Every structure is written in C-alpha cells, then in structure tokens.
Chains A and B, each alone.
Chain A
Amino acid sequence: MADIAVLLKQVPDTNAKIVVSGDRVDEGAVNKWSMSPYDEYALEAALAQGGSITAITCGPDRAKKMLTDAAAVGATNLMHIVVDDLTTLDSNQVASILAAAVEKTGASVVFCGKQAADTNAGSTGPGVAEKLGSGCVTMVSELSGDSSGFLALRPSATGMERVSVSAPCVIAFDKMGTELRRPNVKGIMMAKKKAIETMSVEDLGVDIGSASVTLDNQSPPAEKPAGQKFEGAESVSTVVGKLREEAKVI
C-alpha cells in the first residue's frame, strides 16, 4: 500500500462572514476556522485507501488545530510548515514548499482539494504535481483502485470521464459521495498526544526565492445599488418588461 500525503489548508468556515478592515481581510473577525471543504474529501479518500497518511499543511500557527483534527479521524503523521502569512507567497513558492514536504515524507501519492475555499484558485494540486514530475487528475468526484492504478471520475467536455493514473500522482478532489468521517472519543484523545512535525521553509531546505507578485490590497465587493422590489405575482410581467427594456438581458 502506497504512502499518501494529503495537503490540507485551514480557511475561514464557508459560513463565516468575511470582514475587510483597512486593506486586508480581518482574520480576527473570523469566528470559525475549518479544514477547506474539498480537502476534507481528499482526507476521507485517503482514509478509505488506508495505510500511512501524512497530513501536510503550510500556514500560520492556528493551522495546527486542523492537523490535530485530521489525526483524530486517522491521519498517521502530521507535518506543519510554518508560514505566518500565506498572502506573502506566490503560487510557485507554495508549490515548491509543498512538493518538498511531500518528498520528505516519501509518499508517491498526493491527495488534495481541487481548490481552497479562501483563494478559490486551484493552483496547488497541479503545481505540486509539476514540481514532483507526477501525473495529476483534478476535479475528481469518484475514485476507485489504488496507487498501482487509480480510476478517477472527472468532468469532460462532453460529460464525465473515467481516467486512469498511477503513482506517482496527485489527485485533486471535487465534492465526493462520502463526507469526512467524524472522530470518535478515542481518536480525539489520541490526536491530542500526536506529535506535529513542525518546521520552517528553511528547515525544509528548499530555495523558494522571492515572491513575484505582491498583494496590494483586499477590499469588500462593490456594493450593488439597491434593487427594485415588487409585491405579488402580478408584478412579474412588469419585471419581464424591465429585463427587456432596462437591463436588455432577454
């Protein structure tokens, strides 16, 4: 059974209100931090495979809790590359860091979410695959087989397709049929004692150079002007008229 590395990111819960304060999203105003939802599917898929599973995250200190949560449901090893502010890194640096971390584990199979719920980018899975020289399948919503030959369901131009890929490979998950299992009490107790291998980017021994993009600011989305509101179904024809005459969209 191949060892699996699962890449996890801690993000504001998708139900959390995002508040911008000054020119940055105010992390202090986030009431709940969670494992990014697609990463949960990746972790569950790894647990279903069994064997040694290393949960890897790159992020600030608060992300340790997410690794402990991963251990509570069965991740066997935990690795934390400490980066205080991920917005200071560009996609290439993140891919380099995570690929180096994967290499350190010796895993030949990498599972991750198709994108994180904060940046919504989806650059990491394929980027890490490129750094590792691995095959990659993204947007995977069903997986069967094992590292000697996975069969992954992904969208195609004409519908869906099942694609085979074998280790070394990166699989980036979309929503899967099975939600991440809940921890039991024993799992939670064991996880509290589980060591987290914590290191800096320098400790990893990877040269990531300097970021080639700079975050200037974050801002709330432009406020829409207040809309027009009508009462009752008899107003539907009025609205349809406005869609044609004012909005010109039908």
Chain B
Amino acid sequence: MVTVIAETSGNSLHPVTAQLVGAAGGDATVLCPGGNGASEAAALSGVSKVISVEGDCFSSFDGGAWASALGSLTEGRVLAASTANGREIASRMAAAKGVAVVQDVTSISGNTVSRPIYSGKAIETITVSDDTILTLRPNTFAAADGGGSAAVNTVNQSADVATSVKEAIAKASERLDVSDADIVISGGRGMGSIDNFSHLEAIADQLGAAVGASRAVVDEWGMSHSIQVGQTGKTVNPSLYIAVGISGAIQHLAGMRSSKYIVAINKDADAPIFGVADYGIVATWEEALPALSDALSNL
C-alpha cells in the first residue's frame, strides 16, 4: 500500500505524478489536493483509488495546511514529488507524524533508497523504515501508463491556513522552467554578453527547450536566478543538456551532471565541461550555433 501525493499544475496533473505512481509499483492511492487532476490520476495504471481532497485550505498553497489536510488520509508509504511544494508538504507531514522524510530520492529498492548529496558530487544510500516519507526526483522514475480506471472518492477537509496570497505575478516569459524541461540549453561566460543569449533562445525555440545559465553570468549580467543551473541554483536532469560557452566549474557540474545526455560547445578544448559531455564540440558559439540551427532545421 502506497499513498501518492499528486503534484498538480493548475487544474491538471503534473507529469511527475505518473512517475510517482510508476515508482509505487501498483496498489497506489493518489491524493489530489483541491481535487485537481483527480480524473487524470484515476486513469493511470497501478492506481487503486483516488481521493479528491477538497476544502477551502487548497485555494492557495500553504504547506502546513496542505500537510494537515492530506496527512490524515495517508496509508502505508507516502510518496511525493521532490518539487518546492512536494518537499514542503512532505517535510511538514513527516514532522507532524514524527517520522523521517528523505528528499530527492533517485532509486528505491525495498527499504533501501539512494539520493544525491552535495548537489550530485556524491550519492548516499539509506535504509529507511516503512513509514519514512519519500520525495522522488522528477524525470528519474518511469511513468505509469494509462489504462487505469480507479474510483474517485471525494473527501472534504479543513485546516488552518497561516499564509495568504496578496499578489500574483505572472512569469516574465513563457519559457519553460529549467527544472521541468526535457531539453535545456545553457550559456555561460563564453557567450560574451547577455545580448548574445538571444542566439540560445532561438535554438531553444527550435528544440522546445528551456534556457539556463551558469552562476557567473547570472551574477555578472544580472540575469534571473530562476534560470541558474548549479549548486546554488537549480539541479536539472533533462534528457538533453546543451552547455554553450560554459567552462564547467564544479559548482555548475553539480547541477547538471545527472542529465541523460550532455552536449558541450566550448572553444577551449581543455574546458572541464568536456569531462562530463557525451558529445563535445570544440568550437566558438558564433560558429557552432548557426550550424546547430541549420542541422536542426534539416532533421
């Protein structure tokens, strides 16, 4: 018996929820906060029951209220997504139940789990107990297929809310978030100036990719911290990570080395980034990016 805390995105299910169900390995109860995504969850294979958890406390995110409203409905092992909200819910739920939480798990085998530490500079293996709450790193576990037809029950819950949203600020751009994207193209100091990021954005548009940046350029060129990849930025693990003009400081490698495939474009043949690249191209970005654009157009 496993309880999955659904990660939702607006009214629908975030793709990581299917991965949580996949990792549960069958007989999963899915709790849908605010009822969002309940019918989608019911259609996942391996789901035996969906609980649409409704109540005023779900109108905006409050980790304490959500953990309290969801916590009384869990049975067996609890799995949540290792996202900002998932981690907060899991932390509070664990502290309320007096059990441990292990965050950002990348493999599970019985009661043995592993997770990256030091932003991936090392891995630790932990024996957990049956009641330990786990959050799972997105894009690491195989998603459950469709074809399920679980029953959806609705439960009304109430909880004390300590926060209230005063102002919503829309995203400055419609670009994908680096932590969600399947392909990320990042630029570093080798791009020369912030203006040249438009060339990366054009490639990103061709690939449906998110644009990331190294800490050096985020700090020096005043870019948004939300696109910074690295130990003090975001840890990403897309299918494809393209690093352009990034030398590969240990700080940066920590945030992207778990990407499935890494392409490095750098004019310095000795740059450390080539040490983690599956495909390295020694060239300037000025030459390589137009060639990349052409090659993608010809696919």
Q: Which residues of A contact B (CB under 8 A)?
A: 12, 14-15, 17-18, 20, 25, 37-38, 90-92, 95, 117-131, 134-139, 141, 151, 153, 155-165, 169, 174-175, 209, 211-222, 224, 227-237, 239-244, 247, 249-250
B282 contacts A136, C-beta separation under 8 Å: no
Residue in A157, A231, A237, A243 whose Cβ sees the most chain B Cβ within 10 Å: A243
- Interface residue from A90, A117, A156 paired with B118 (Cβ < 8 Å): A117
Chain A residue with minimal CB distance to B240? Answer: A249
Residues from chain A with a CB closer than 8 A to the CB of B9 are 157
Residue in B103, B240, B284 whose Cβ sees the most chain A Cβ within 10 Å: B103
A137 to B88, CA, bound (A): 9
Q: List 13 A-B contacts (CB under 8 A).
A: A14-B254, A18-B121, A139-B84, A162-B167, A163-B165, A214-B127, A227-B279, A229-B282, A233-B281, A233-B288, A234-B291, A235-B281, A237-B294
User: Nearest chain A CB to B62's CB is how many angstroms away?
Assistant: 7
User: Nearest chain B CB to A185's CB is how many angstroms away?
Assistant: 27
A133 to B200, CA, bound (A): 46
A92 contacts B100, C-beta separation under 8 Å: yes
A10 to B104, CA, bound (A): 21
Assess A213 versus B274: contact at CB under 8 Å? Given A155-B84, A240-B295.
Answer: no
User: Nearest chain B CB to A29's CB is how many angstroms away?
Assistant: 12
User: Nearest chain A CB to B6's CB is how many angstroms away?
Assistant: 13
User: Nearest chain B CB to A34's CB is how many angstroms away?
Assistant: 11
Q: Does B225 contact A (CB under 8 A)?
A: yes
Residues from chain B with a CB closer than 8 A to the CB of A236 are 281, 283, 288, 291-292, 295
Q: Does B55 contact A (CB under 8 A)?
A: no
User: Nearest chain A CB to B99's CB is how many angstroms away?
Assistant: 6
- Interface residue from B92, B123, B291 paired with A129 (Cβ < 8 Å): B92
- Interface residue from A159, A165, A229 paired with B274 (Cβ < 8 Å): A229
Q: Does B178 contact A (CB under 8 A)?
A: no
A232 to B231, CA, bound (A): 30
- Over the window 262-279 of chain B, the binary record of Cβ atoms lying under 8 Å from chain A Cβ atoms (1 yes, 0 no) is 110000010000101111
Residues from chain A with a CB closer than 8 A to the CB of B126 are 213-216
Residue in B100, B249, B296 whose Cβ sees the most chain A Cβ within 10 Å: B100
Chain A residue with minimal CB distance to B167? Answer: A162
A92 contacts B92, C-beta separation under 8 Å: no
CB under 8 Å from chain A, chain B span 218-259: 225-226, 231-233, 235, 239-240, 249-251, 254, 257-258
Residues from chain A with a CB closer than 8 A to the CB of B99 are 92, 212
Q: Does B101 contact A (CB under 8 A)?
A: yes
Residues from chain A with a CB closer than 8 A to the CB of B167 are 161-162
A235 to B269, CA, bound (A): 14
Main secondary structure on B side of the interface with A: mixed
Chain A residue with minimal CB distance to B133? Answer: A91
A162 to B60, CA, bound (A): 12
Q: Does B51 contact A (CB under 8 A)?
A: no
A163 contacts B100, C-beta separation under 8 Å: no
Q: Does B67 contact A (CB under 8 A)?
A: yes
- A-B pairs, top 6 by smallest CB distance, nearest first, are A135-B162, A233-B287, A130-B95, A90-B100, A126-B91, A236-B291
A232 to B283, CA, bound (A): 5
Residues from chain B with a CB closer than 8 A to the CB of A241 are 295
Assess A221 versus B122: contact at CB under 8 Å? Given A121-B104, A213-B129.
Answer: yes
- Over the window 77-92 of chain B, the binary record of Cβ atoms lying under 8 Å from chain A Cβ atoms (1 yes, 0 no) is 0000000100110111
CB under 8 Å from chain A, chain B span 57-110: 60-64, 67, 84, 87-88, 90-92, 94-96, 98-104
User: Nearest chain B CB to A122's CB is how many angstroms away?
Assistant: 5
- Interface residue from A126, A158, A218 paired with B168 (Cβ < 8 Å): A158
Q: Does B190 contact A (CB under 8 A)?
A: no
- Interface residue from A164, A224, A237 paired with B278 (Cβ < 8 Å): A224
- Interface residue from A163, A175, A211, A235 paired with B163 (Cβ < 8 Å): A163
User: Nearest chain B CB to A37's CB is how many angstroms away?
Assistant: 5
User: Nearest chain B CB to A10's CB is how many angstroms away?
Assistant: 14
A127 contacts B94, C-beta separation under 8 Å: yes
- Interface residue from B67, B88, B231 paired with A138 (Cβ < 8 Å): B88
A141 to B169, CA, bound (A): 13
B63 contacts A136, C-beta separation under 8 Å: yes
CB under 8 Å from chain A, chain B span 30-67: 60-64, 67
A47 to B126, CA, bound (A): 37
Assess A135 versus B62: contact at CB under 8 Å? Given A158-B10, A215-B126, A221-B122.
Answer: yes
A131 to B226, CA, bound (A): 30
Other than the known A136-B162, A158-B168, A161-B165, what 9 A-B pairs have Cβ atoms closer than 8 Å?
Answer: A122-B87, A138-B88, A162-B167, A219-B125, A221-B121, A227-B274, A237-B298, A240-B296, A240-B299
B296 contacts A250, C-beta separation under 8 Å: yes
B100 contacts A211, C-beta separation under 8 Å: yes
Residues from chain B with a CB closer than 8 A to the CB of A117 are 118-119, 231-232
Q: Does B201 contact A (CB under 8 A)?
A: no
